[in-house]
Amino acid sequence: MDARFPQKVSVAGLDREKSLSLLQTTHRISLENARHQWFFIVRLLGRPIRAYCLFKTMACRPDPRGSASHPRSPTPAILEVMDVLYGLHPVEEAIRAGNGRIDRISISRERKDAKLAALASLARSAGVRVSSEARDQLTRAAKTEMHQGVVAYLRERAFLSIEDLLAPAADGHTRFFLALDGVEDPHNLGALLRTADGAGVDGVLLPERRSAPITAVAAKTSAGATEHIRIARVTNLVRSLEQMKKNNIWVVGLDERGIPDYTDFNFDTDCVLVLGREGAGLHDLVKKTCDHLLRIPMAGKVSSLNVSVAGAVVMYEAMRQRNAGGVQTKTPPAPPVAKKRKGLGSI
């Protein structure tokens, strides 16, 4: 542990880890830069008012009820570092998931309807705190007006490891995973996670770098699937795929120049489907790691589909095969049966 950053020192009522997290989230800076800023604040703690005002300037919005001469302790709503989730369906799914990630939800005072009342009742029955806020306050928290009158504040997400995903299935069924190689659009990420949940994917691999984070936008697009699907964050995707191969899991990539067609591959086995980034597809090293490269045949002028659409096509083909027991042999149609002639001139 770095001796320059003592654990017991707090800034404006926050301990070291929460202070670092707040600086990172607010300014979107690296952990190392957050440490330098935090250490600079700690050095001023001999003058509490100056340290307090500096911390407020760097990390928080001003509190109109305080002043430099008589600073008021910040409220938890100002200083707590939490992800937000907005929208009726995503918040409802997060409550039903029952994973304890929701700290509280805020609903709009201006909107009064049965759907919002039912959601508030569901939250209270699950032991989640419910408060009423002005719609403008919810818009500031969600950073969009498309929150539908409800915002949930989430605790930090605990991602799984690759070892968690590789654990044998309890019922012994063949496993089907999804790996995303550099998908950076949160809308595409949310759509893929929604499809993965619907197609029965056993887990998703996301690289720590060159990948969209699971933000409120991704969660809204996924319609709450982010709270149900098992997600592992991996440092090196190629190394994780190699580890899956050692556990007898086929690595199958999707590429417009691949062979064979996706419908000719037998998905009724342990396998992981790897999808590449928008526009450029799979990285070369990831492509070389794949056991098979499949393609989606295209009949028009465009050479490929959007990654979320292509992923949905293949994932549901995999689900169809797994439910039917593998690739079904195509049998030629039976010859037409000659109909008996009736009427004049019949023999």
Residue 335 located in a structural domain: no
Considering the domain boundaries, does residue 100 fall inside one?
Answer: yes
14, β-bridge pairs: 11
| Segment 206-235, tens digit of pLDDT | 998 888 888 888 888 888 888 889 999 999
Report yes or no on 341 lying in a domain.
Answer: no
- Is residue 234 domain-shared with residue 145, that is, in the same domain? no
Q: How do strand 102-108 and strand 150-154 relate by DSSP bridges?
A: antiparallel
Give counts: helices (H), strands (E), the chain.
13, 10
Nearest CA-CA partner of 226 in 81, 96, 80: 96
Beta bridge partners of 234: 207
244 domain residue, yes or no: yes
In a domain, 2, yes or no: no
173 shares its domain with 313: yes
Residue range(s) defining the domain that contains residue 26: 16-75
Q: Under a CB-based contact definition with an 8 Å cutoff, are residues 258 and 177 in contact?
A: no
Q: pLDDT (tens digit, 9 = 90+) per residue, 279-313?
A: 888 999 999 999 999 999 998 888 889 999 999 99
| Residues 313-326: tens digit of each pLDDT | 999 999 999 998 75
- Let me know whether 209 and 250 are in one domain: yes
Q: Are residues 27 and 98 in the same domain?
A: no
Is residue 119 within 8 A of residue 150, CB to CB? The reply is: yes
Looking at the structure of the chain, the number of domains it has is 3
The pLDDT of 91-95, averaged and rounded, is 88
Q: Please, what sign has the CA dihedral across residues 325, 328, 329, 332?
A: positive
Question: Is residue 183 domain-shared with residue 120, that is, in the same domain?
Answer: no
| 318 shares a domain with 169 | yes
pLDDT of residue 24: 61
Is the separation of the CB atoms in 240 and 162 below 8 Å? Answer: yes
Strand partners, 289: none
Whether 32 is in a domain gets the answer: yes
Asked if 121 and 264 sit in the same domain, the reply is no
The predicted model gives 146-168 an average pLDDT of 87
Q: In which band, very low, low, confident or very high, does the pLDDT at 74 lie, cut at 50, 70 and 90?
A: very low
| 347 is a domain residue | no
Instruction: Say whether both 179 and 88 belong to one domain.
Output: no
Burial code of 98-134, b = ≥16 C-beta within 10 A, e = fewer? eeebbebbbbbeeeeeeebeebbebbeeeebeeeebe
**Claim to verify: residue 248 and residue 215 sit in the same structural domain:** yes
The reply to whether 209 and 283 lie within a common domain is yes
Q: Any idea what the CATH number is for the domain that residue 149 is in?
A: 3.30.1330.30
